[in-house]
Amino acid sequence: MEHSLILFHDNRQIFTSDEHWLYPLFELEAYLNSSVIPVGELFLRDKIAGKAAAALIARLGIRSCHIELLSERAIPIFEQYGVQYGYDQLVDHIQCRTEDLITDKMSMEDTYLFLRKRAGKVQGTTLTIDSLTVEISGKRILADLCLEIGRGEQLIIQGENGSGKTTLLRSILGLDKALKGSIKIGEEFVGSSEWLRNRVQTGYLNQESIRNNFPITASEVVAIGVSGIKISDSERDYHVELSMRKTGCFHLQHQMFHQLSGGEKQRVSLARCLCQNARLLLLDEPTSYLDEKGKDELGELLYDLSRNEAPTMLLVSHDAFWTEKLNWHRKTLKAGKLW
């Protein structure tokens, strides 16, 4: 077998990959997303498959495969999802750190997202905060605060009103200056010349983005995301439409932004962040102006974004709704520190 992975349809070779580890399966995912052939009619040959590869194969919908070197840890996954398999050699496990990190408690979607992150198939960047201290009008708001968020990870920070949640986000945006400490987005320190050139990588969604009756349409709000980039009108329109379709608000493109409901405004504002290709998304009390239906819809949208676009997301709120709606990691901001 020359290729690391081969896909067949009616005994005809239709896709190959020469990459290693899990990358052939992620390439295959992209291919299948653009293919009209029913996945159930496909046959896959792969050089090696363990627990991780088995999970990806099952999630792709492949129902028949042959593996040259198969780990016993893959078999329960194949059997659970009805994947018929054959192999040349069976081993008890594969020497791969990823195999040990996948637990039986993880759902298929959690496993998929974990593997995407391990493979670098996420849009997000890292956020590192070291000993951040911020004072406003002589009052200490944040005190030696430390935080690390990995690429494509999501975090909810809870805290009472006035606990400093918005100050934390404003500090990350470079709006509130630190008395001490540092904030690093990717490899760039907030406030540096490199950060200034790439500020667009951070998107911000506040409680209500526009509070007046300024005559601007929803699509014009989204287009703000690419306003600082030299592109043609057709390219701009393409990015705007793509972002609005991803957030389910393209039908609102010609409506005045100030006339939209709270939930519609949040969808448009999220589309703006996607349009600017934000790798870090900051959300400040995003449900403050939403009814229960709007909250549910926004929660579902953020859930989908975390698994598809996978930007790094930091959401701050005092609303217990988020802890129930989203299975994200959580911290509490109290007395200027995270707990």
Who wins on pLDDT, 74 or 111? 74
Angle at 312 between CA 253 and CA 235, to 5 degrees: 35
Under a CB-based contact definition with an 8 Å cutoff, are residues 243 and 299 in contact?
no
Pairing of strands 280-284, 127-136: unpaired
- pLDDT confidence band for 17 (50 / 70 / 90): very high
Contact between residue 160 and residue 129 where contact means Cβ atoms under 8 Å apart: no
- Cα separation of 99 and 104, whole Å? 11
Instruction: Dig out the tokens for 42 from the structure.
Output: 């496909």
**Per-residue buried b or exposed e for 63-94, using 16+ beta carbons within 10 Å of the residue's own CB:** bebbbeebbebbbebbeebebebebeeeeeeb
Between 1 and 314, whose confidence is greater?
314
d(CA 210, CA 87): 59
Give tens-digit pLDDT for 131-154.
Answer: 999 999 989 999 999 999 988 889
- Rounded CA separation 224/13 (Å): 45
Rounded to whole angstroms, the Cα distance separating 125 from 113 reads: 15
Distance in angstroms (rounded) separating the CA atoms of residues 220 and 233: 12
CA atoms within 13 A on the CB side of 235: 8
Hey, is 125 helix, strand or coil?
A: coil
**Three-state DSSP state, 38:** coil
At residue 92, the pLDDT reads 92
Domains recognised in the chain with CATH numbers: 5-118 (3.40.140.30), 127-338 (3.40.50.300)
Listed range (109-118, 238-247, 270-279) with the worst mean pLDDT: 109-118
Beta strands at 180-185 and 188-189: parallel, antiparallel or unpaired: antiparallel
Q: 43-81: per-residue pLDDT in tens?
A: 999 999 999 999 999 999 999 999 999 999 999 999 999
pLDDT for 240: 92
Q: Which of 8, 34, 4, 7 is nearest to 20 (CA)?
A: 4
Nearest to 75 by CA among 53, 100, 45, 47: 53
**Cβ-based neighbour number of residue 26 at 10 Å:** 19
pLDDT higher than 60, residue 209: no
In whole angstroms, what is the distance from residue 293 CA to residue 323 CA? Answer: 17
Amino acid present at 13: Q
CA dist 17 and 3 (Å) reads 6
**Residue carrying structure tokens 């494509």:** 152
What's the pLDDT at 211? 58
